[in-house]
Amino acid sequence: MKEYFVYILASRRQGVLYTGVTNDLERRVYEHKHDLNRGFTSKYRVHRLVYFESTDDISEAIAREKQIKGWLRSKKIALIEASNPEWADLSEGWC
């Protein structure tokens, strides 16, 4: 069964948040950390994985990503802090 992930990355200094969806979280975080795809995360150095959740339904994952992207920043922060109050990089040691 395939697994899909909705994730949030944060920058260290600017407090920038990025929400995405993928079917391979480790690969995708590696791509972000090493700026392999030019775009928002490389421009703003958004490299720390601070939140993720998984599902086996791609439609559900995409809908959840869109839902989170539509939230106010304060609600995203509350989501992160509910499971990761220290804002630790959850991918530490992966790459």
pLDDT 10s digits, 40-77: 777 777 889 999 999 999 999 999 999 999 999 999 99
Q: How confident is the model at residue 95 (pLDDT cuts 50, 70, 90)?
A: low
pLDDT of residue 3: 97
Q: Are 45 and 39 in contact (CB under 8 A)?
A: no
- Topology, domain 4-83: GIY-YIG endonuclease (3.40.1440)
Question: Mean pLDDT over residues 72-90, rounded?
Answer: 95
Cross-strand pairs, 95 = none
Q: Using a pLDDT cut of 90, give the percent of the chain over it.
A: 74
Tokens of 2: 């395939």
Domain range annotation of the chain? 4-83
What is d(CA 24, CA 2) in angstroms, rounded to the nearest whole number? 10
Q: Are 33 and 45 in contact (CB under 8 A)?
A: no
